[in-house]
A and B are shown apart, each in its own frame.
Chain A
Amino acid sequence: MENAETPKKSTDAAVEAEAARRSRRAFIGWGLAGLAGLSGWGWLVSRPGEGGVPGPLRRVLELNEKVSSAYFRETRLAPEFARSRATTPRVNGKYGLEDELDPATWRLRVQNADGQTREFTLADIRRLPKIDMVTELKCIEGWSVIVHWAGARLVDFLTQNQLTNSAPYLLLQTPNEKYYVGLDRKSALHSQTLLCYEMNGRPLTPAHGAPLRLVTPLKYGIKHLKRLGSIAFTQERPKDFWAERGYDWDSGH
């Protein structure tokens, strides 16, 4: 044993002294490591940030986003389920739905790359190929429900109207601009990202986002914007209602 005294000189007292010396050293060492950890923690939580989430944590969330974006494949699809399993999700958010909506005057306004705005009616959206999709809606709170959605693919809408461009982000807003979500281009153009007008075989009710809402099983429910009013392409990462309130901007699945 390299740390034991040689047997002839060794006494219990010498062993105890050695044990005490090593213990002292070890406990002081771990104590200092613990203090260093605690002060690092103190520094971390004192950093300014958004929505109560310190800056360094945001940087790590952005790193997570880079990692999952690198792993992302357009071909990976959210699982689909039997229509018989579909139920109605509870109404969980009313932000952006504060005012009465007149369906007759509603338009979807899309700003293209050169800043020009074009307007579309619900009939324009309905003319596109209709996609039925039975997927699991996952709320960021932790619950999930299977829902049968129907609508047009966002990517079909954009290509058919020559609206696609290379901007890396999209900003979606309600008509009153009180609720808004940011999407990365890859998620927005995914084949399961829909401009949805039907839920469980019926037209959307106002509480669920009539006349048109976003549905994408690539994101948590917070990104499923109800009562879509406008879409804009952006070069910079757009604002996002819940990211401003402490949630992950990406919130991607």
Chain B
Amino acid sequence: MKRLVEKHPLAIRWFHWVNFPVLSLMIWSGLWIYWANDVYRLGWGDTTVLKFFPKSFYGAFDVPFKLAKGMAWHFVLMWVFFINGLLYVLYTAFSGEWRYLLPNRHSWREAVQVTLHDLGLRKTAPPVRKYNGAQQIAYSAVILMGLGSLLTGLAIYKPTQLAWLTTLLGGYEFARILHFALTIGYVLFFLVHVAQVMRAGWNNFRGMVAGFEVAEAAEPALKDK
């Protein structure tokens, strides 16, 4: 027999769905800014494996000559990104949701099992809980990345008034590299996240939209209330 199981509280869904367009626009406007000094690449010596970014990429997304506009949007939306992230952290802390989200000593071993299973290298399915070990690590890491973006962003935004922070983060140039690397991290996170959501299917996706899942009654409740 089927039943409805509450999964994600409305607050979490709001933070999630506000963050999605806001972070996208932060990355977008960040790209407009980065273009004006696009010096980063993956490679060594004279060998470049990947240039950030190829001309064709800029052309396809109409990136060039938008530095001023990019900065304006970036320094407006930073507030929304920051406040939304802060509210999320406060909410998870005070509602007790953090218990599901924070990794524990079992998470790492479980994350390996989940990864092996998802890559088709391990038959045994990982335990079904609200968040498995891999998810706990990923969702906690992405919050730390958000904090990292905030701090590295401030370090390159006010490098004189916040000189202690800029110095702590390895100086102006290194803080800018970190800020960029974190952004690439979000893009990678996004790709894996979307692939996993597609794999998990409709029931799981609907959980982040409508807040509930349909479960077989025989299964234990996801939340013990």
Contacts A26-B210, A142-B33 hold; do A61 and B69 have CB atoms under 8 A apart? no
Q: Are B5 and A1 closer than 8 Å at their CB atoms?
A: yes
Residue of B whose beta carbon sits closest to that of A253: B160
A-B contact count (CB 8 A): 118
Q: Are A10 and B158 closer than 8 Å at their CB atoms?
A: no
Contacts A12-B1, A15-B4 hold; do A25 and B210 have CB atoms under 8 A apart? yes
> Among A26, A33, A51, A78, which residue has the most Cβ atoms of chain B within 10 A?
A26
Q: How many residues on the B side are at the interface (Cβ–Cβ under 8 A)?
A: 40
Contacts A16-B214, A78-B163, A142-B36 hold; do A248 and B4 have CB atoms under 8 A apart? no
> Among B1, B160, B161, B211, which residue has the most Cβ atoms of chain A within 10 A?
B160
Complex Cα distance A149/B117, Å? 60
Which secondary structure dominates where chain B touches chain A? helix
Residues of chain B within 8 A (CB-CB) of A11 are: 1
User: What per-residue 1/0 map shows which CB atoms of B6-28 lie under 8 Å from chain A?
Assistant: 10000000000100010000000
Q: Which of A19, A27, A142 contacts B212 (CB 8 A)?
A: A19
Complex Cα distance A247/B1, Å? 62
Q: Which of A10, A52, A140 contacts B1 (CB 8 A)?
A: A10
Residues of chain A within 8 A (CB-CB) of B39 are: 143
Q: Are A3 and B4 closer than 8 Å at their CB atoms?
A: yes
Complex Cα distance A72/B160, Å? 10
Residues of chain B within 8 A (CB-CB) of A76 are: 160-161, 163
Q: Are A138 and B172 closer than 8 Å at their CB atoms?
A: yes
Q: Are A72 and B161 closer than 8 Å at their CB atoms?
A: yes
| Contact of A43 with B by CB under 8 A | no
Contacts A37-B21, A76-B163, A78-B160 hold; do A144 and B210 have CB atoms under 8 A apart? no
Residues of chain B touching chain A, judged by Cβ–Cβ distance below 8 Å, are 1-6, 17, 21, 33-34, 36-37, 39, 67-69, 71-73, 75-76, 79, 158-161, 163, 166-167, 172-173, 176, 206, 209-212, 214, 217, 221
24 pairs, A vs B, C-beta closer than 8 Å: A7-B217, A12-B1, A15-B4, A16-B2, A16-B214, A18-B4, A25-B210, A26-B211, A30-B17, A52-B69, A53-B72, A57-B72, A60-B79, A79-B163, A138-B159, A138-B172, A140-B71, A142-B176, A144-B172, A242-B68, A246-B69, A248-B71, A252-B158, A253-B160
Residues of chain A touching chain B, judged by Cβ–Cβ distance below 8 Å, are 1, 3-5, 7, 10-12, 15-16, 18-19, 22-23, 25-27, 30, 33, 37, 51-53, 57-58, 60-61, 64, 68, 71-73, 76-79, 136, 138-144, 217-218, 242, 245-248, 252-253
